[in-house]
Chains A and B, each alone.
Chain A
Amino acid sequence: MASYSTNEFKSGLKFMLDGDPCSIIENEFVKPGKGQAFNRVKFRNLKTGRVNERTFKSGDTVEGADVIEIDLEYSYNDSEFWYFMDPTTFEQYAADANAIAESKDWLKEQYTYTVTLWNGSPLLVFPPNFVNLAVVETDPGVRGDTSSGGGKPATLETGAVVRVPLFIEIGEVLKVDTRTSSYVERAKD
């Protein structure tokens, strides 16, 4: 893998830090007074998902991380792994529980997920911003109430629970924002 000097740092660069693959969010070149320059770097640890900061001396180098992002279709899961497939090559990838932690509530067959691969294995699976999911459980709908005031919990087919308006019935398909776990609207056909 290539190595990168601080002058090549930019947001999105994938590099290794303390054994973990990381992605740069923000890189700031700092030169205090008449002193030695350094780079203040905000990055995401791609293994833990956590955001951290690290200061590098300008001119320091880091190892690049073999990390790519691809779009994969979710297929199925067994007791141990969640399986995703590349729709063009039909290659299959097995993601473990850590990798799907972010998207566990939003996994539906044939939907496309953005998967971060590290050395060819799924590291993190991100759901699309919006998914359409059917309601499997909720209190009976209240006819005539089309306002969004109040609301009630509804369990979706993936297991996620979101707050929905009172008029929503079991079996209806809803558009949900996965970033905020919130109801958007009834899905259009």
Chain B
Amino acid sequence: MTTQQDWQPTASIDTLKRRAQLLADVRRFFAERDVLEVETPVLSQAAPTATYLDSFRTDYQPPGSKAVSCYLQTSPEFPMKRLLAAGSGDIYQIAKVFRNGECGRLHNPEFTMLEWYRPALDYSALMQEVDDLLQRVAATPAAIRISYHQAFQQYLDLDIEQVDVQILKRAALSLISGLPDDWQTDYDGWLEMLMSEVIEPQLSQLNKPVMVYDFPASQAQLAKIHHNADGIAVAARFEVYAGGLELANGYDECLDAAELRIRFEADNQRRKQQGKPAMPIDTRLLAAMEKGLPPCTGVALGLDRLMLLLADKTALDAVLSFGFDRS
């Protein structure tokens, strides 16, 4: 008789208790700040268009008629923004989200996202709120802030306003061991490579959460474009790194439906160039934004990764009841 052993959880029961505590702490944090907990559909007929974000697709099968394509959410962003447009005020959600093709030590195709939107808070105040949350639920030291431009200046001595693809490529090839000479990518691809392989490891040496803010305008995603102190147009987007992990991504939300439609369509063009299917644009989101999204900021934080920090583990499986291999 062979006994199958892989029915066992990948996290210890003690870790799962700690995880339950984290969820309770997060809910208390938002309850105290009068932020409303909401739930939105996990299954949607529309999907995000971002080039390097792949949704799981499935079919809704009405008996006796044609199947309808549906997608599992990669984040609850679009329906939450529709709630904001409908006058919900401050909202948060702890949601299961799904990303196809992402599996590894720090990635699980299905994970838990804490996402919240704050019409009352500006970009800087939202960064402070993320910091407050981390200090409260994870006892982290106060976060430090550094702009994307400063980070490249300080750690690579590069002024990203002055450099071109060739300079970035040369820097990446000389600093990243194992990167082959024929590596092909574009300006943003090189910036991302340098950020993740050269700057992030140095940020993690600081032993406190770091908020990198004001991303290049070309990496705005759904963030507003604003001008920094030097008059350079940058994305009002920030990323939070802690313990060598990319923990959260926040925006001063772009409110302009026409601008977003242009970005979505450009995304779909890039997807097609890469041989990926174009995604159905969420026209209900755009309609809600045309009606009027209140000025707001929003951020998404990977709760499983925060749990990694809390439990002092190195792989996501150790904080998930059942990692993907055992799901």
Contacts and interface: CB of A to CB of B under 8 A. Distances in A.
Size range of the chain B interface in the assembly = 20 to 34
Q: Main secondary structure on chain B at its contact with chain A?
A: loop
A54 B107 contact: no
A31 B52 contact: yes
Contact of A55 (B101, B102, B183, B195): B183
A161 B180 CA distance: 42
Interface in B167-206: 176-180, 183, 185, 188-189, 192-193, 195-197
Interface string A32-44: 1111111011000
A139 B53 CA distance: 70
Contacts of A37: 52, 101-102
B104 interface: yes
A27 B106 CA distance: 12
B247 interface: no
A32 B51 CA distance: 13
Contacts of A7: 101, 103
Given A55-B180, A55-B183, A32 B105 contact: no
Nearest to B103: A29
Given A37-B101, A58-B101, A32 B192 contact: yes
Nearest to A42: B178
Contacts of A34: 50, 52-53, 192, 219, 221, 249
B253 interface: no
A41 B52 CA distance: 21
B246 interface: yes
Contact of B195 (A33, A38, A53): A33
A31 B185 contact: no
Contacts of B52: 31, 34-37
B219 A33 contact: yes
Contacts of A32: 192-193, 195-197, 246
Nearest to A43: B178
B192 A33 contact: yes
Q: Main secondary structure on chain A at its contact with chain B?
A: strand
Interface residues of A, number: 20
A56 to B, nearest CB: 9
B195 A29 contact: no
Given A34-B50, A35-B188, A35-B189, A28 B104 contact: yes
Given A29-B107, A32-B192, A34-B50, A52 B102 contact: no
B195 A28 contact: no
Contacts of B104: 27-30
B239 interface: yes
Contacts of A40: 178, 197
Contacts of A58: 101
Given A37-B52, A55-B183, A31 B178 contact: no
B178 A29 contact: no
Interface in A4-42: 7, 27-38, 40-41
11 contacts: A27-B104, A30-B197, A31-B52, A33-B196, A34-B221, A35-B188, A35-B196, A36-B52, A37-B52, A52-B178, A55-B179
Given A30-B197, A31-B102, A38-B193, 4 more contacts: A31-B52, A35-B188, A36-B51, A55-B178
Task: Please give me the 8 A-B residue pairs with the lowest Cβ-Cβ distance, nearest first.
Answer: A29-B104, A53-B178, A32-B196, A35-B192, A32-B192, A54-B178, A55-B179, A53-B177
